[in-house]
């Protein structure tokens, strides 16, 4: 009796091959059509239109129309006039991002490792502000930081605080509003990175006589870097272009670039300058993101 392991293989037996082209078919490409059409209509086309508008003759108007004259001076003139507002916007966004990182990292760490059975409830609490309108949340800060609000009245009662303390309509109020509104965008990516980390790595670091600080710097922080990079980008980018927080919590001396673009488009009717500022802002943010991701060593995120 011939052993099963030595049975001869029929000569005409051919191993089945996977026909990748047949398996793919047109279905995959058909599924891409809705998303492609959506992006073309609501991203590519508006971006091209915006870039074209930035080269209009600035002497035109919404009533008389604009002419395409390839007026590249719109960019230099816009930057010359509004460069301080650009820098202020990036400074406010950077400050809000740092505040979100300092607040969000301990919170994400606590949810990932210390929350236990309360983890899901704490995650719901993080995203609970999204159940309310962005405008309503910002208006609530306007009442909290007002001169007659609880915060100012409490601080004014302290001996070292002046009686004429004012928080509303200050850079502090704008940065506070930005940090509050975009904090969940920092916490959730950090939690996603920390939650995947094996706690035994920290135990191993302790067994190797690493102090808690060294264990954090050499184990926790490197493993959480994808979340740090994603969180800072998700916070900084929308904060730099935000205009609601400054509109409700700031003053004319705290104007951000989003407020300026909105005013030029809707009030002044200066489409050419507003478009030039918008295109410049998009290009600067894209370049900053590419440099930041490369320096952080997480190129796989983009």
Q: End-to-end alpha-carbon separation of the chain, Å?
A: 62
What the block records as the tokens of 227 is 């979340």
- In angstroms, the Cα distances linking 206 to 114, 201, 209, 217 are 18, 9, 5, 13
The predicted structure's pLDDT at residue 44: 94
Q: Which domain holds residue 198?
A: 51-125+184-241+256-301
The predicted structure's pLDDT at residue 45: 94
The predicted structure's pLDDT at residue 62: 67
pTM, entire model = 0.84
Residue 14 in domain: no
Residue 212 in domain: yes
Closest listed residue to residue 178, CA positions, set 105, 259, 262, 240: 240
Point out the residues of the chain with pLDDT beneath 70.
1-25, 61-64, 298-302
The predicted structure's pLDDT at residue 12: 53
Residue 28 in domain: no
The predicted structure's pLDDT at residue 49: 93
Residue 171 in domain: no
Which residues does 276 contact at the CB level (< 8 Å), separation at least 6? 54, 74, 75, 77, 78
CB 152 within 8 A of CB 143: no
The predicted structure's pLDDT at residue 268: 85
| Residue 36 CB-half CA count within 13 A | 6
Residue 65 in domain: yes
Residue 17 in domain: no
Closest listed residue to residue 54, CA positions, set 278, 283, 298: 278
Residue 193 in domain: yes
Closest listed residue to residue 218, CA positions, set 197, 235, 190: 197
The predicted structure's pLDDT at residue 119: 92
Residue 68 in domain: yes
The predicted structure's pLDDT at residue 3: 47
Domain count, the chain: 1
**Residue 280 to residue 111: CA distance in whole angstroms:** 39
pLDDT in tens, 206-262: 888 888 888 888 898 999 999 999 999 999 999 999 999 999 999 999 999 999 999
What the block records as the tokens of 127 is 């995203």
Question: Which CATH number covers residue 75?
Answer: 1.10.3720.10
The predicted structure's pLDDT at residue 299: 54
The predicted structure's pLDDT at residue 198: 86
């Amino acid at each position: 009796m011939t052993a099963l392991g030595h049975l001869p293989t029929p000569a005409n037996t051919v191993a089945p091959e996977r026909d990748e082209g047949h398996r793919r078919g047109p279905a995959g490409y058909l599924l891409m059509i809705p998303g492609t059409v959506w992006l073309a209509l609501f991203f590519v086309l508006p971006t091209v239109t915006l870039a074209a508008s930035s080269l209009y003759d600035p002497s035109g108007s919404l009533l008389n129309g604009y002419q395409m004259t390839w007026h590249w001076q719109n960019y230099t003139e816009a930057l010359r006039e509004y460069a301080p507002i650009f820098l202020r916007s990036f400074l406010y966004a950077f400050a809000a991002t740092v505040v979100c990182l300092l607040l969000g990292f301990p919170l994400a760490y606590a949810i990932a490792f210390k929350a236990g059975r309360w983890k899901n409830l704490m995650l719901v609490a993080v995203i609970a502000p999204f159940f309310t309108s962005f405008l309503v949340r910002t208006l609530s800060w306007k009442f909290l930081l007002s001169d007659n609000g609880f915060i100012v009245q409490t601080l004014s009662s302290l001996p070292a605080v002046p009686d004429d303390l004012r928080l509303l309509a200050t850079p502090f109020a704008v940065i506070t509003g930005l940090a509050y509104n975009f904090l969940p965008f920092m916490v959730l990516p950090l939690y996603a990175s920390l939650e995947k980390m094996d706690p035994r790595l920290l135990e191993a670091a302790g067994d190797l006589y690493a102090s808690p600080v060294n264990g954090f710097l050499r184990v926790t922080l490197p493993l959480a870097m994808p979340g740090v990079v994603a969180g800072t980008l998700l916070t900084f980018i929308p904060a730099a272009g935000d205009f609601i927080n400054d509109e409700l919590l700031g003053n004319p001396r705290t104007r951000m670039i989003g407020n300026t673009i909105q005013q030029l488009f809707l009030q002044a009717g200066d489409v050419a300058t507003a478009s030039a500022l918008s295109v410049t802002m998009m290009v600067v943010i894209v370049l900053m993101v590419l440099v930041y991701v490369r320096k952080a060593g997480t190129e796989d995120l983009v």
